[in-house]
Chains A and B, each alone.
Chain A
Amino acid sequence: MSGMIHFFSSHFATLSHEFWPLLVGGLATGFIYAMVAIGYTLVYGVLRLINFAHSEVFMSGGFASFFLMKWLIGSSTPNATETVLYLIAGVLVGGFAGAAVATTLERVAYRPLRRRNAPKLAYLISAIGASYFIFNLAAKEFGRINFAMASPFINHPLFTIFGAQVYMYYVIILIVGSIMLVSLDRLVATSKLGRSIRAVAQDAETASLMGVNIDRTIALTFILGGFLGGAAGYLYGLSFGVVYTMGFTPALKAFTAAVLGGIGNLRGAVIGGLLLGVVESMAVAFVNGAYIDVVAFAVLVLVLLFRPTGILGERLGRTA
């Protein structure tokens, strides 16, 4: 008993000592999860389907921007203007690659099934096949090792909050992530495109009677989700490098985040992502680093057990 108290007190001591740095790091990871989770949630909203191959959208964004960074930066050291330009280019290229893969996926793996009105199991199997196909093809074309991405900036601490040094990388993720998430939220909430997405999410049949082009809306949903996923792949790759299996674990966690926030719910995905990032980061104080992935899995199972509709509840149509 006393041993247990000692265990917890010492771990809480680590936690209180490291709280702010862990929080900052957790929020940064959380933004990446949120960006990927948006992809799951959007597609779930309109198709009632978990896009299993979203991990490969993330991976493609990572690889596309990896090659871009290599080509742009090479062995040079970019100056301040170049840093900003390269970052924007990386986000855009990663995003477009993700969007391209996501649309191709929709075209090849989902649309033929949708035309046939196939049972749900068929979608899941097709998606898992697509995911498996894409990452193994990437392994074949680009090799099986982890490539470090050429970084357009030097990752030095910029400033300090409550004694925690905030690194450049975190600031970049914070800026890019919040710009993209806020603009997506506005896009879905106010634009005509957003209205058609919400309409299809609420009731596809009625929406099509009202003149919404369902095929186009679904394709655009995949593009939006794919863009954010691909851009997230770039941000992730900046720190962790790129490898053909890079999508697997982050995507599984992003899915957890989407479920945690309430799948089909855009803001839920963001909240879930940030929360999961922070929880996982804080868990470092308690769990051996090798088992850190178990934490997200445990969160997923617990959410499914106790609140399967997530924090904000399901449905894209109502809350976005």
Chain B
Amino acid sequence: MKNFFSSPLVKRVGAMVALWATVTVMTGPPGNPAQPTLGFTSSFTERVSFFGLFPTPRGVLFAALGLILAGIVVLYRRILHTPVQRAKASIVPTYQSISAKRSVRGSWYAAALVVAIMLPHVVTDPFWQSAMVSQIAIYTLLAIGLNVVVGFAGLLDLGFVAFYAIGAYVTAWVTGALPIGAPFHHVIDPFWAIPIAIVFVMIAGVLLGVPTLRLRGDYLAIVTLGFGEIITLFANNLYGITGGSTGSGEIPHFVFHVGNLKYLWGLNPVPYYYLTLGFVVLFLIIFSRLEHSRVGRAWIAIREDEVAAESLGVNPLKYKVMAFAIGAASAGFAGVMTAGQSFFINPATFTLSFSINILVLVIFGGMGSIMGVVIGSLLVQTVSMYLIHTPPAGFQNSDLYIYLGALLIAMMIFRPAGLWPSKRRRREIALVESGEEKDQRIVMTQTGEEL
């Protein structure tokens, strides 16, 4: 009997059945507290029509889909992905092919930019136009900011939302939208709030970072988690200052006013799209320059081996705080953008879910890989928005959170370096996993990087 349960086939089938049940329940109808098992049972029996197929019980449908998928995987392994094929695929590219790739890459970026600029003229649906700004562009901005912390420096920040909230509230404060009143006589426009918010956010980041970054990384994760909650708590309860749980509104829109030139961003999302896109491109350039600068190399050194980095004169605390503060600053910046665009802020926006959502974007795309994070953000957010806009049978918006949680686990199990990993990060993870991170030389000749 014991042999039966520990045989690999039984284990694999068991895992597949568990996966099937989990997916069925995840996507199924909600339960209710009066009948706690109802949600689970009806998930299997509820009849759904899948892409116009005749209505089938969800459990049966998913079992069938799962079998088809398993069949495809088996065929792929047997026919297309034999050991010989696998060996061919793992041949490391030569320098010639790398430099050829580099020149192609530039034209890809240009093409992507053209597509991004044309997009609002192609997509005219008001839902998508507004989602493109508030759910896709701003989230991408946040993800490339969090990537500096999680990807470059290897620090897990679970309270990213706190800095975003501080940015938004500082904007509301300096533009006079909070009950506490504006600090200046003139009501200023959100452009001027950007530097002020960044200063505040960076101070908060340093204050939080200095005590915790000296310690192990996991402490940072939990302290930032707590910090996110505390900021929301204050936003919720300081009625006289933040407007409490009802939030506060009438944050002015962005105004560009130099000489005779004046442009007011209004309620139309398209101008905001271009503004945010401009900032996304700016941040992309800054962060990719930063990655290969002295600072970026210091981050990588600390991430890969803190003791070795320290012995070579890199001050870990200094660079970690720097990464943390830069990440925080970009979150604060995104907070200003959101506040200026949405006219109204309230604490319900600034929840743990938000931090996790951004983390998913970074992890899915590939931590440490700027392009990966951008692609990951676009993919995850577009799919999320698609599900919200045109929900399939039985889908509620809050199911997204369940999917995002599952995605995090799945990524860590199957593809920890992300969808589009940075080469460096992928190698690092492989090194740690093979237990050879201490002796990189051997592995480097094995993968051909020292040729």
Our pick among A63, A113, A137, A288 for the contact of B412 (Cβ within 8 Å) is: A113
Interface status of B211 (Cβ within 8 A of chain A): yes
CA distance A259 to B219 in the complex (A): 9
Q: Is B226 part of the contact surface with A, judged by Cβ < 8 Å?
A: yes
Number of B residues whose C-beta is below 8 Å from A? 57
Interface residues, chain A, CB within 8 Å of chain B?
49-50, 52, 63, 67, 108-109, 112-113, 116-126, 128-134, 136-137, 139-143, 145, 147, 248-249, 252, 255, 259, 288, 290-291, 293-294, 297, 300-301, 304-305, 308
Which residues of B are at the interface with A, using a C-beta cutoff of 8 A?
25-26, 30-33, 36, 39-40, 150, 154, 156, 158, 211-212, 214-215, 217-219, 221-223, 225-227, 229-230, 233-234, 237, 352-353, 356, 359, 363, 396, 398-399, 401-402, 404-409, 411-413, 416, 428-429, 432-435
Question: Which residue of the partner chain B has the closest CB to A134?
Answer: B405
How many A-B contacts at CB < 8 Å in the complex?
156
Smallest CB gap from A113: residue in B = B412
Residues in B whose Cβ lies below 8 Å from that of A126: 408-409, 412-413
Bound Cα distance A117, B429 (Å):
9
Known: A125-B408, A142-B31, A291-B233. A120 touches B398 (CB 8 A): no
**Cβ contacts under 8 Å, B31 to chain A:** 140-143
Q: Within 8 Å CB of B411, what residues of A?
A: 125, 129
Question: Given the interface contacts A118-B433, A300-B226, does A124 sit within 8 Å of B221 by beta carbon?
Answer: yes
Residues of A within 8 A of B223 (CB): 300-301, 304
Other-chain residue from B156, B226, B356 in contact with A297 (beta carbon distance below 8 A): B226
- Whether B33 and A136, one on each chain, are in contact in the complex, defined by CB atoms closer than 8 angstroms, is no
Q: How far is the CA of A288 from the CA of B428 in the complex (A)?
A: 48
Q: Determine if B25 and A304 form an interchain contact, defined as CB atoms under 8 angstroms apart.
A: no
Question: Chain A residue with minimal CB distance to B208?
Answer: A301
Given A121-B154, A142-B33, A291-B233, A252–B409 Cβ distance below 8 Å?
A: no
Question: In this complex, what residue of A is CB-closest to B40?
Answer: A141
Question: Which of B39, B409, B416 has the most C-beta atoms of chain A within 10 angstroms of its own C-beta?
Answer: B409
Instruction: Indicate whether A252 sits within 8 Å of B226 (C-beta atoms), given known contacts A112-B413, A301-B211, A304-B215.
Output: yes
**CA A119 to CA B353, docked complex, whole Å:** 24
Chain B residues near A252 (CB, 8 Å)?
222, 225-226, 229
B87 to chain A, nearest CB (A): 21
Scoring B150, B219, B226 by chain A CB atoms within 10 A of each residue's CB, the highest score goes to: B226
Known A-B contacts A113-B412, A300-B226, A301-B211; the reply to A50 vs B36 at CB < 8 A is no
- With A140-B31, A252-B225 known to touch, is A129 a contact of B36 (CB < 8 Å)? no
Residues of A contacting B409 with CB < 8 Å?
108-109, 126, 129-130, 133
Among candidates B212, B237, B353, residue contacting A290 with C-beta atoms closer than 8 Å: B237
| Complex alpha-carbon distance, A259 and B222, angstroms | 11
Cβ-defined contact, B217 with A120, below 8 A: yes
> Out of B154, B399, B428, B435, which one reaches A140, CB within 8 Å?
B399
| Contact with A142, one of B26, B36, B226 (Cβ below 8 angstroms) | B36
A124 to B367, alpha carbons, bound, how many Å? 14
A67 and B218 alpha carbons, distance in the complex (Å)? 34
